[in-house]
Structure 1
Amino acid sequence: MSVKSLGYMGFAVKDVSAWRSFLTQKLGLMDAGVTDDGALFRIDSRAWRIAVQQGEADDLAYAGYEVADAAGLTQMTEKLRQAGIEVVTGDVELAKRRGVMGLISFADPFGLPLEIYYGASEVFEKPFMPGAAVSGFLTGEQGLGHFVRCVPDSEKALAFYTQVLGFQLSDVIDMKMGPDVTVPAYFLHCNERHHTLAIAAFPLPKRIHHFMLEVSSLNDVGFAFDRLDADGLITSTLGCHTNDHMVSFYAATPSGVEVEYGWAARTIDRSWVVARHDSPSMWGHKSVRNKA
């Protein structure tokens, strides 16, 4: 039993207004209004995918993983409790705020609040209208995208996400952090998206290094690059990753957490075998900050 996809993310930030402008005018998300969960944003037919609420953390506040139905939620609840994880069944009010039929709440081994839910709200009658030039985002069975979780003990986190939540290892990249320092990054999938989650013991103050959105065309990437570059927000140049082959760039959000914006990642199929890589990129992804 495994979760099926990353369904939504919620951020707690100091400047909600700056995030609203960033997500809509720079990344092309659709403003879906304000609720008790904060400002909501769409990238497809779902009522929302990203929420931004007022908070001092300037970080990811929670993430929601989707299962197919009530039976799947019950199975995941039992699996978590058998693993000794404290699980709270979401009440009617929380389910209403999230726009789902049912959910549970718990935390990963290093304190990131997680939710598993089923029955998300679809709003096909309200077509997705991007806030900036973008032809569309890749979601569907692949879910929202991915994020890279920063943890002090990657082996402990890896055990939780694979043995309890059911993720599977796609591959490993040995990240060279210095002349004599290498940190392995583990890339995990729960559907055909190459990775919905990556785990690494990066010495960073945030819960995540970045989150990723995948768009429908190379031009979408290029137009977004120009919009963000005009404001000096690019943190790494266009490049192509060694493992998922995505063509992407990275930019700074108003909270310092980065966003990866990419296109054309390869997907997982039945013939997939685990591999390791010595470098994260075949070409590009040169740090802009280091040149400043």
Structure 2
Amino acid sequence: MNARADVDSVFGDVHLGYLVVESNRTAQWRRFGADAIGLHVDTLDGTTLRFRLDDRTCRFLVRRGPAEDVTAMGWHVDNHEAFDRVVARVADRGVPVIEGTAEEAALRGVERLWRFPGPKGLVQEIFTVAVTTPEPLRMLSTGWVTGDAGMGHVAILSRRPEAVRGYYRTVFDSRLTDYIDENVAGLRMKIRFLRVNERHHSIAVADIRGVRIDPIRTRVQHINIQSASLDDMLASYQRVRELGFAMAWSVGQHTNDRELSYYCVTPSGFELEVGWNPVVIGPELESTWEPSTYQGISIWGHSTVGSTVLTKFEQFRQALRHAAIPEATVPELSGGLIR
């Protein structure tokens, strides 16, 4: 990367700040988030929940609606210079950037926000100032890792993985951390892990090699949050099981970022990964990092839970239903890095 490109880069200035979920299952979400995972929950009205992980007033916004999916990703941009660069990159490509309303900003716990289209129909929202509160956290967990690494990561399955990778490279100067090759039920899957700051990855993009199918109903395959302690992670795993929420993958350790984690199923159907102690790519590692390819997702564990032949058949039917529907992309932003 040349000096000019490095000066213009927003890498390190962007962090995943919040996620917006649309669901008609708010009662289940409250029980899942507060009682099973151990998050702080605020009920704003009969149709809106907010979950906190730290001193910010909102990390997850769950609003009533039929999607049963993540609908928007909120990105915290550290300073106005980086914010202006992101807006210019999007607007100069002819993609509309629209300011959110004061009510929308307040619900998300930010002073102001702007939004623009993203891959797979996931709206991207950017802001510079988050609203914090001195109100103590009321939650079963003792803490979550956020800060410079952002609140976690989002993983998606795409039929156009290079377009998704190009999008985040263009908009946020994402860098490729590594790849994983995995066989799932006889299908070859490739996963790309993209970082925008010191977190090993804020976006993971998977595709099934050789066939353009997507067996996932939701826009996201899973979202991730990071426990501050191993005890917290294991305690939430036990609560998820005891309260009867579906488990997708048992506790295990990943090959690439070394994170210990488990995956459970949210009330909306996509998965939540609760993890602990992944690799952090700080300045020293960043200066010499080279992407590698790992064979297999896990060193140990992460066994499937509750998967049956009927589950696999339904996923295949889902893939066939979606095969003729074009995947939402933003071609104007999927080509390459804007200098």
Normalising by the smaller structure, the TM-score range is over 0.9
Residue of structure 2 in register with 1:184 after alignment: 190
The CA distance in 2 between the partners of 1:31 and 1:177, in whole Å, is 36
Match of 2:123 among 96, 103, 113: 113
Contact 1:32 1:40 in 2 (8 A): yes
Secondary structure of 1:273's aligned partner = coil
Matched, 1:256 2:273: no
Secondary structure of 2:31's aligned partner = helix
Match of 1:217 among 229, 233, 237: 229
Residue of structure 2 in register with 1:128 after alignment: 137
Matched, 1:194 2:204: no
Q: CA RMSD in A?
A: 1.8
Secondary structure of 2:198's aligned partner = coil
Distance apart, 1:147 and its partner CA: 1.1
The CA distance in 2 between the partners of 1:35 and 1:117, in whole Å, is 24
Distance apart, 1:232 and its partner CA: 5.0
Count of matched residue positions in the alignment of Structure 1 and Structure 2: 288
The CA distance in 2 between the partners of 1:129 and 1:37, in whole Å, is 21
Contact 2:149 2:199 in 1 (8 A): yes
Residue of structure 2 in register with 1:23 after alignment: 33
Secondary structure of 1:272's aligned partner = coil
Residue of structure 2 in register with 1:280 after alignment: 297
- Cα separation, partners in 2 of 1:108 and 1:184, compared to 1, 3 Å: same
More displaced 10-residue stretch of structure 1: 37-46 or 182-191: 37-46
- Cα separation, partners in 2 of 1:247 and 1:74, compared to 1, 3 Å: same
More displaced 10-residue stretch of structure 1: 202-211 or 36-45: 36-45
Q: Which consecutive unaligned segments of at least 5 residues does structure 2 have?
A: 1-8, 208-213, 310-339
Contact 2:47 2:64 in 1 (8 A): no
AA of the residue aligned to 1:14: N
Matched, 1:7 2:17: yes
Q: What TM-score do the two structures reach when normalised by structure 2?
A: 0.80
The CA distance in 2 between the partners of 1:250 and 1:97, in whole Å, is 28
Matched, 1:152 2:159: yes
Distance apart, 1:91 and its partner CA: 3.9
Q: Higher strand proportion, which one? A: 1
Contact 1:63 1:113 in 2 (8 A): yes
* Moved beyond 6 Å, runs of 4+: none
Contact 2:172 2:196 in 1 (8 A): no
Distance apart, 1:37 and its partner CA: 8.4
More displaced 10-residue stretch of structure 1: 46-55 or 66-75: 66-75
Q: What TM-score do the two structures reach when normalised by structure 1?
A: 0.93
- Cα separation, partners in 2 of 1:89 and 1:36, compared to 1, 3 Å: farther
The CA distance in 1 between the partners of 2:305 and 2:29, in whole Å, is 22
Residue of structure 2 in register with 1:174 after alignment: 181
Q: Higher helix proportion, which one? A: 2
The structure having more radius of gyration, on CA atoms, is 2
Secondary structure of 1:95's aligned partner = helix
Contact 1:36 1:97 in 2 (8 A): no
